[in-house]
Chain A
């Protein structure tokens, strides 16, 4: 007789555990008990890592599908808007060196290729606008500290595409409350003492300190770096990626604002340093700042000095928290009846905020493909592994892209990062193609793509990558291209005039709320 999947047991109550529980419960749970029973075991002795504070725009759909109100999310999670990232001092290291990776796609993308037209123009004119400024209005909106929507915009709807900055600790409690009170997820507060496998190698049940045995048809490992189920129990080895991505330490600190009404920067600022880079994320009540660096290239003391120089003399007394990072992931992500989500599956430096989005995508995929029986689970596991591996590879490529385009020479960290031996072949191949034409959808043909070709355009041309299109036939759509540039200019005027100050809008959302429609 078929072994029907009726219950899911999630181990670990961090962001990964609760988001996964929420995503699956919103689709498969039910109040009448006919759905899948979802249990989450959370330790009250093990803390969470809690530095995942930047999301992708996907989080809007994720929260909406879970039935969360965006107004509540702003009120309870210290939430603010994120309209992409500003990369400072990545190219030359000069104080004036910066570029944007906005979330709004280039005007007319993907049917129009503004990148080639911009490059042609930029090569002739010294005063040409930056690529992102020429093709999108969002850089201008960000530079003015404006929000991506209006108080009259419905929940989750934006004028400019947006994601969030959030307080990871508060976010976990917020999602936990929603899962337990609204989505019927069963919470067990306890520690797992032993994981028991059956003769087929599957996880049979968990032994706990106080709550006896916990069983399940599918176990989801959200235990963090420890990877209790997938790594320790199922023995899936870790694939180290530190030969490509050198960052292995983070020093994180919370920086208060000067005043209660200080502006909230509406994008992530990533500022390159001598041996890594510093993230700077503006929440409502504080900034989250952290230096991620390579311990093979510098010492903890030197890194601390750079971080202190960044946050300024007045914040010298703040004590940063050190987090060890192991760049890499498990060889497979789903084995037997166990699948890992979040840090238990792997971790990469937060340069493109890939941690939370990978949790969402993995949980969404588990939820969407949830096998009906144990017998069909291995088929699903195979697909899940292929897709997830592809996603990790694309993220690694994209992160590495930022390093290989840098022209910084001020340390071995930057020079070593451009060593061809450290660059994945898949990325080398793409770069070769892009020497002659702009990244386009033809370069990204999987339905599991992480970054649109537009993201590659923003980074490549933001970082001064040279593309020679003289050997190619002119496209013959010059009129449409000119119109698109003009349209972007008028959108820039319109939205910089209309959109409100970022903090003002957040204050209004907290006071009046956003409407659902």
Chain B
């Protein structure tokens, strides 16, 4: 990866294929999401919380696999999902605060000039022939704006949840169909029992801050883990079949 600040003059000639952005998530089991995406994400993925390895701070993610570097939605061509997170759709563009722990260069739009999305066969450019922003760049800017705004909301949701002791570690002890045990660690979710035991004042805080929907989205999304297990079992049996044919 090689990030440089986007320059409309310098990068006007770049040809970009946005469809290839999804390929960059092929080996990503956690994709960061912002609060405004929770509702849509919940129909496809488990929404989980995990600590940033460099800061220990919590972020919100959608879970794509049951092990690091596993993305069970990646088909080899695309993400077979009903909703693609903004953090995939913005690629190959980056904003400092979304991925860097320091957030020092936030609100600077960057482009990864090593990205495989930049290709001669790409149909998109950042500027039109007349030098104005292309509809594609306008769409990217809109996504990036939603991510930047959404990050603040997401952080405040996480802080409120933490202050009410609502986050708890998820312990997943899964035995796959082929008998392989899988122990998933480092993921956190909403503690339903604690949530249901909250006093009136705490519920009011959540209600007034508009966080109720988010909590229910997270709780409901947890069931998507069963879908991941199903996909994982399917993949395993396909692999076995493949090896069987190969022999």
Contacts and interface: CB of A to CB of B under 8 A. Distances in A.
A513 interface: yes
A151 B56 contact: yes
Nearest to B50: A152
Contact of B55 (A153, A512, A517): A512
Contacts of B53: 150-152
A512 B162 contact: no
A512 B188 contact: no
B167 A152 contact: no
Contacts of B168: 517
Contacts of A151: 51, 53-56
Contact of B186 (A152, A508, A514, A516): A152
A514 B56 contact: yes
A513 B168 CA distance: 18
A514 B167 CA distance: 14
Interface string A490-517: 0000000000000000001001111111
Interface in B11-70: 51-58
Interface string A140-176: 0000000000111100000000000000000000000
Interface of A is mostly: loop
Given A152-B186, A517-B188, A512 B57 contact: yes
Interface in A174-220: none
A508 B51 contact: no
Contact of A513 (B56, B167, B186): B56
Nearest to A513: B56
Interface string B160-198: 001001011100000000000000001010000000000
Nearest to A505: B56
A89 to B, nearest CB: 39
Contacts of B188: 517
A515 B58 contact: yes
Nearest to A151: B56
A515 B55 contact: no
Contacts of B57: 512-513, 515
A152 B51 contact: yes
A151 B56 CA distance: 5
Contact of A508 (B56, B165, B167, B169): B56
A508 B54 CA distance: 8
B167 A512 contact: no
A508 B101 CA distance: 12
A131 B56 CA distance: 35
Residue in B51, B52, B168 with the greatest tally of chain A CB atoms within 10 Å: B51
Residue in A151, A511, A514 with the greatest tally of chain B CB atoms within 10 Å: A151
Interface in B103-157: none
B68 to A, nearest CB: 14
A208 to B, nearest CB: 41
Nearest to B188: A517
B164 to A, nearest CB: 12
Nearest to B57: A512
A502 to B, nearest CB: 16
A9 B162 CA distance: 37
Contacts of A516: 162, 165
A512 B56 contact: yes
Contacts of B165: 516
Nearest to A153: B56
A77 to B, nearest CB: 20
Contacts of A514: 56
Interface in B189-243: none
Given A515-B51, A517-B188, A152 B162 contact: no
Nearest to B55: A512
Nearest to B167: A517
Contacts of B51: 151-152, 515
Contacts of B58: 515
A515 B186 contact: no
B54 A515 contact: no
A515 B56 contact: yes
A151 B165 CA distance: 19
Residue in A152, A153, A508 with the greatest tally of chain B CB atoms within 10 Å: A152
A514 B162 CA distance: 12
A517 B187 CA distance: 11
A293 to B, nearest CB: 43
A515 B52 CA distance: 11
B216 to A, nearest CB: 21
Contacts of A152: 51-53, 56, 186
A516 B169 CA distance: 11
A516 B165 CA distance: 9
Contacts of A150: 53, 56
B169 A517 contact: yes
Interface of A: 150-153, 508, 511-517
Interface of B: 51-58, 162, 165, 167-169, 186, 188
19 contacts: A150-B56, A151-B53, A151-B54, A151-B55, A152-B51, A152-B52, A152-B53, A152-B56, A508-B54, A511-B55, A512-B55, A512-B57, A513-B56, A513-B57, A514-B56, A515-B51, A515-B58, A515-B162, A517-B169
Given A152-B51, A508-B55, 6 more contacts: A512-B55, A512-B57, A513-B57, A515-B57, A517-B168, A517-B169
